[in-house]
Chains A and B, each alone.
Chain A
C-alpha cells in the first residue's frame, strides 16, 4: 500500500489561524499535522480553525491525533473550530464526543467569523 498522502497548510489571520487539511488523517499524517499546528500556534492565536473539507478518510489513529491537538488547545486555552466534515465524520465526531469539545460550524465563512470573535 502506497503511503497515504496528507497535507496541511496554515494561514494566519488576525487572532486566529486556519489549517487546511487535505488527504487522509491516519498515522502517516502525524508529523505534518503536528508541524502545521506548531506553525499555527506561532502567533498565539485565540482560535485555530481546522478545515476538513478535503479530508476523505480519518481512522482511529487520526482521531487520536485530533484528540492530541484538542488537548494542546485546551491547555493553551485556545478554541478549536471545525468545518467541512462530511456527514459520516460528523457522526463519528458526535459518537466519540469530540464534538462536545469543538466548535463545529457548517462552512469556512462561519468558522472564520466564529474564530475572529474575541
Chain B
C-alpha cells in the first residue's frame, strides 16, 4: 500500500471536491525532466468535454488517441502525458492518474494496464477519504477562526456599551443586554451632560450578527457626537439620520429612542426614530409614550417629533428592543405588546423590573428556548417622594439629620429678570397650609426671591434657557427650599455684613445685599456646590425656630 501511496504522490492529479479551477499533476516520466516529478499546473474548467469522457471511460485512457476539443486534453498532451486513469468515487471524478511514456520506450503492457486499473480501484476511495478528512480539517479550522473572531467582536462591542450605570440621586437606573448571537445589533447608552442631565438611548439595528454590530457602533458614535453640540433630542436624531443615510449599507436601518432626563425636575424630553414606544408606569396607569419619527438611515432630511413628560415620584419608565415582544413560545404564540403592558400594569416588581420581565419571558418561552432576537431593556425609576436630607454639607460641617421630607412642590424657571417674583409666589402657595405666620411667609418669600435672583444672575448669567430649579420639601419640624442653578464648580462667596457707611460714602457699590438678606430671612441657609450646580438650601424651623419674628 505504501508503494501505491508513493506512486500516487508522484503521479496523481487530483480534482478537489469543490472543483477549484485547476488541476495539478506531476510532470510524467519520459519527459525532458522526467525524474524531477515537478508539479504541472493544468487549467481546469468544469464544462470541459474531457471530463464526461473520462467519467464514462472504463479504466485506462490513452491520451494520444482521444480527439476532443478540450483544453485539459491539450494541456495533458503538452505535458507529455501518455495514458491517464480516471479516479472515480461514488460516480464523481475526483482525480487522474497520469503517466508519460515508459522509460523503456515500449508500450504499456497488459500487465501494466491490469496493475494500473487495480491501483485506480484502490486509490479512488482512499483519495476520497483523504479529501474528506482534509476538507473537514479545513472547515474545523475555519470555524475556530470565525468563533475566535466573533469572541473578539463581542468583546469589542461590549466595550462600546456603558461600563457602569449612572448613579443619580433619587433615581434607579438598570439595563440588560442579551444578544441572540455573539454580537448584537441592539445597543443602549447613557450620556452624562455637564449640566447634570442624563441622555438615555436604546437602539436596534435591523439584522443581527457582525453587520448589525458594525452599524450599531457607527450609530452610537454619531449619536454621541451629535448630542455633544445639540440639546434637542429631535435635532440629534435628525442629524444622526442624515449622517447614517450616506453611510449605512442598503436594506439596513436603525430604530432608536433618545431621551434626556433632568434628574432634579423629573422631566424627560424624548424623540423616537421608529423604536418601540416606551412605557411609563405611574399612578396605577401604564401609558405608551408616543413621538413620531422614521427609523434612522432610511431617508435623509427626516424630522422627528419631540415630546416631554414628567416622572412623578414612584414612576417607572421602560425602554426596550423588540426581542422581548417578538419572542415565541413552543406553540408559536408571540409574547406581544398586550402581554407586556399587562405585566407592567400588575406593578409587582419587588425584585426590580428587569428581573421580573426576564422571569416572565423565561416562563413564557419555556425551557430550551433558542433566543430569536437580541433583548435589551433600560429602566428608570424615580424614587418615592420621601427623600432624605443630604447627609453632609459644607455649612453643617458634616452634621447629619435623618428627618424624612415630602415634596410640596418643584418647578423650574427660565433665567429671566423678574422671574424671582414667580418663584416667591409659587413657594408661598405651596407652604400656605403649613400654618406658618404671615410674617414668616413674607420673610421666606424675600429669601426665595433673593436666592432665585442670585441663581439667575450669578449661576445662570441670565441665559434664559438655563433653568433655576426650585424644590420645596417639608418634614414634621422643618421646611426647606432648594434653589439650584446650573453654575457649579465655583464657590458662592461667604456672606458678609454690608458696610452701609462705606456704601453711603460712595466707597463701595450700593449693591451686595442678597445673601445678607437671605441669611436674615430664614433660620438657616446652606450652600451646596458640585461640579455643575449651586444649590441654596433655605431652612425654616417649623417648631419655633431660632429666627425671631419681626
Contact = CB atoms under 8 A, between A and B. Distances in A.
Interface in B326-383: none
B435 interface: no
A63 B449 CA distance: 14
Given A64-B510, A91-B550, A95-B517, A3 B500 contact: no
Contacts of B520: 95
A1 B417 contact: yes
A64 B512 CA distance: 8
A28 B417 contact: yes
B513 interface: yes
A68 B512 CA distance: 13
Contacts of A8: none
Contacts of B420: 59
A71 B449 contact: no
A75 to B, nearest CB: 8
A96 B513 contact: yes
Contact of B453 (A4, A59, A96): A59
B505 A71 contact: yes
A98 interface: yes
Given A71-B504, A88-B446, A60 B418 contact: no
- What range describes how many residues of B lie at the interface? 20 to 34
Contacts of A97: 500
B517 A1 contact: no
B513 A4 contact: no
B511 interface: yes
B206 interface: no
Interface residues of A, number: 33
B290 interface: no
Contact of A74 (B422, B443, B504): B504
A26 interface: yes
A64 B420 CA distance: 17
A98 B498 CA distance: 11
A1 B416 contact: yes
A67 B500 contact: yes
B228 to A, nearest CB: 32
B453 A60 contact: yes
Contacts of A96: 498, 500, 513, 516-517
A48 B443 CA distance: 28
Contacts of B500: 67, 96-98, 100-101
B506 interface: yes
Given A88-B439, A96-B500, A64 B513 contact: yes
B264 interface: no
Contacts of A25: none
Interface in B401-456: 416-422, 439, 442-443, 446, 449-450, 453
A100 B501 CA distance: 10
Interface of A: 1-4, 24, 26-28, 57, 59-61, 63-65, 67-68, 70-71, 74-75, 87-88, 90-92, 94-98, 100-101
Interface of B: 416-422, 439, 442-443, 446, 449-450, 453, 498, 500, 503-506, 509-514, 516-517, 520, 550
Given A63-B513, A74-B505, A100-B500, 18 more contacts: A1-B422, A4-B418, A28-B418, A57-B421, A59-B446, A60-B453, A60-B511, A67-B500, A71-B504, A71-B505, A88-B439, A88-B442, A88-B446, A88-B550, A91-B550, A96-B516, A96-B517, A98-B500
12 contacts: A1-B417, A3-B418, A60-B514, A64-B510, A64-B512, A67-B510, A68-B510, A71-B505, A87-B439, A96-B500, A96-B513, A96-B516
